[in-house]
Amino acid sequence: MQDDPGSMTCEVVVVGGGPAGLMAALAVAATGAVTVHVTGRAPPADNRTTALLAGSVNALTVLGVWPSCRDQAAPLKSLRIIDDTERLWRAPEVRFDADELGLEAFGWNIENRHLMAALTHRAETVENLARVDDDAAALALDADEATLSLAGGCTITARLVVAADGRRSICRAAAGIEIEQRDYPQAALTLNLAHGRAHGDVSTEFHTPQGPFTLVPLPGQRSSLVCVVSPEETARLKSLGHAALAAEIERRSHSILGKITPDHERGFFRLGIETATRFAARRVVLVGEAAHVIPPIGAQGLNLGIRDAATVADVVAAGRGEDIGSDTAMAQYDRLRRADVTSRTMAVDLLNLTLLSDILPAQGLRGLGLYLLSQVGPLRRAFMQEGIAPAAARPHLLRGEAPG
């Protein structure tokens, strides 16, 4: 892999050391391709959790990651949606139970720091995967290869670049791919907390006129909270003293988990939607938030990123021995990801719009949709199935199989 101290040659270079980049590096390396992972500078502390859907857990299992973090994850056996809008047309409470689909759980919720540690630990043991802790500074793309220049002076030549370098992706810019972007009038406060009552493996999403307020189980009597409100309200909540914040969370959660003891660490995220106009071009495929950013509603963001990573691995496995960065491979990846990303983005956007809307028909539409889901078993089961395993995206890893 190493040519001389200043330059390296490989088949695939993955740029970005977030969860999507680590998944992509492991997934691509699982095809046998010689892979270099350029991780960038260490990311800031992240107190978020990820609700990993069942397909994502299948992928982590095949890649040998899940055994080392399974104990730090809590199963999500039921999901409740409660209309807390106090509007004229309120939706009935809807409950989805995994056992209705014959599943143990819809997915598992894990703190990102535990997931990252397990991914990193596994990546260190894979022979055909080298890690470079440096920033990508520039990317040159030509007909036969891509050349990545690192901040430290090294260059890496590869047939394919997997851009997992986040929202401000320099690899995406080098490939000439634009993004469509829309800011939401909302922000999210994230924190983890202990509570007096057991969560019973049930995740509860209160729909409020400012956005969802979602409690997701963690192991023991702990849960993670994502509270979506206006940016001003998020800032106010973030600045509250410990006891005042605990009281505010207990009030907003209608005391369903009893006495609340929040952790001290609090996260703040402005929300919006970003979608790349293409998911691959000129030897660069986009993965994770370099390709799509969606608000934290319905736990979709990183699950989409994991499906991106699994799809890249399938494209690489199918194209090995040929040019894995060819225009044909780029078109194939773009086609394989479009329906999944577009449908998830639209669903999350629509749900959020109907929450924020003061227009009665929009509220009625959401209420009717949730009413039908609560009453019509086959519709509810189809909705749940689509939520955990979208028909538009079934890469091998998501099905619990090696890439191919």
Ligand X SMILES: Cc1cc2nc3c(=O)[nH]c(=O)nc-3n(C[C@H](O)[C@H](O)[C@H](O)COP(=O)(O)OP(=O)(O)OC[C@H]3O[C@@H](n4cnc5c(N)ncnc54)[C@H](O)[C@@H]3O)c2cc1C
Q: Is 299 in the site for ligand X (CB under 6 A)?
A: yes
Is residue 285 close enough to count as binding ligand X by CB under 6 A? Answer: no
How many residues are recorded in the chain? 404
User: Half-sphere exposure (CA, 13 Å, Cβ side) for 377?
Assistant: 3
CB-based burial, 33-52: b 16+ in 10 Å, e otherwise: bbbbbbbbeeeeebbbbbbb
| Site membership for ligand X, residue 17 (CB under 6 A) | yes
Contact set for ligand X, span 350-389 (CB under 6 A): none
- Please list every residue from 204 through 243 that binds ligand X, using CB under 6 A: 226
Who's near 199: CB < 8 A, 6+ residues apart?
A: 74, 215, 217, 221, 223, 257
Looking at the Cβ atoms of 90 and 338, the one nearer to ligand X is 338
Rounded Cα distance, 327 and 143, in Å: 10
Confirm or reject binding of residue 296 to ligand X (CB under 6 A).
Answer: yes
Q: CA 240 to CA 174: how far, in whole Å? A: 43
Region of 5-13, 84-92, 295-303, 349-357 interacting with ligand X (CB under 6 A): 295-303
Using CB under 6 A as the binding rule, the residues of this chain from 37 to 76 that contact ligand X are 38, 40-41, 43, 48, 50-51
Question: How many degrees, rounded to 5, is the angle at CA 382 between CA 289 and CA 387?
Answer: 15
Which residues are bridge partners to 108 per DSSP? 52, 75
Residues 102-141 that bind ligand X (CB under 6 A): 135-136
CA-wise closest residue to 311 among 280, 347, 276, 355: 280
Stretch that binds ligand X, among 294-302, 318-326, 332-340, 372-380 (CB under 6 A): 294-302
19 sits near ligand X (criterion: CB under 6 A): yes
Stretch that binds ligand X, among 1-9, 163-171, 178-186, 322-330 (CB under 6 A): 163-171
Phi, psi of 294 (to 5 degrees): -130, 155
Nearer to ligand X, 36 or 370 (CB): 36
- Residue 107's DSSP bridge partners are 53, 76
What residues from 303 to 342 belong to the interface with ligand X (CB under 6 A)?
Answer: 303, 305
Instruction: Please say which residue, 19 or 319, places its beta carbon nearer to ligand X.
Output: 19
Binding site for ligand X (CB under 6 A): 15-21, 38, 40-41, 43, 48, 50-51, 135-136, 164-166, 170, 188, 190, 226, 269, 288-289, 296, 299-303, 305
